């Protein structure tokens, strides 16, 4: 896996026959095809944003969630997002 290119600050793209895969930058654990939604294979910690800590979040609607995604291989934090309860994951696509 020496031909790595950045996908994000925590994930790299790796050339494979027929396309690209995504891997954790910390440990190289595979996160699936670059065409798939990598967040579906990550470890997910999802909780109401009002539980995030700090008084600024206490009055936040409990339906607003903080989602934290971790590498299933090493536990490194990969990404975070906020979403309303029941919304699908945000999907980022990198081209080029």
In the chain, where are the structural domains located?
4-84
What pLDDT shows up at residue 95? Answer: 63
Handedness of CA 79, 1, 28, 33 (dihedral sign): positive
What pLDDT shows up at residue 34? Answer: 92
Query: Rounded to an integer, what distance in angstroms lies between the CA atom of residue 67 and that of residue 6?
Result: 22
| DSSP class per residue in 1-15 | ---EEESSSSEEEEE
Strands laid side by side in the 77-84 sheet: 43-48, 64-70, 77-84
pTM of the model: 0.89
Computed on alpha carbons and rounded to an integer, the radius of gyration of the chain in Å comes to 15
- Taking the chain (96 residues) in runs of 10, the rounded mean pLDDT of each run is 84 94 97 94 95 82 94 98 94 70
């Amino acid at each position: 896996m020496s031909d790595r290119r950045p996908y994000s600050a925590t994930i790299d793209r790796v050339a494979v026959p027929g396309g690209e895969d995504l891997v954790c930058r910390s440990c190289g654990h595979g996160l699936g095809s670059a065409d798939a939604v990598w967040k579906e294979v990550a470890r997910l910690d999802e909780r109401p944003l009002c539980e995030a800590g700090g008084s600024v979040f206490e009055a936040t609607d409990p339906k607003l969630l903080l989602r934290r995604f971790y590498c299933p291989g090493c536990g490194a934090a990969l990404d975070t997002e906020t979403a309303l309860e029941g919304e699908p994951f945000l999907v980022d696509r990198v081209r080029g």
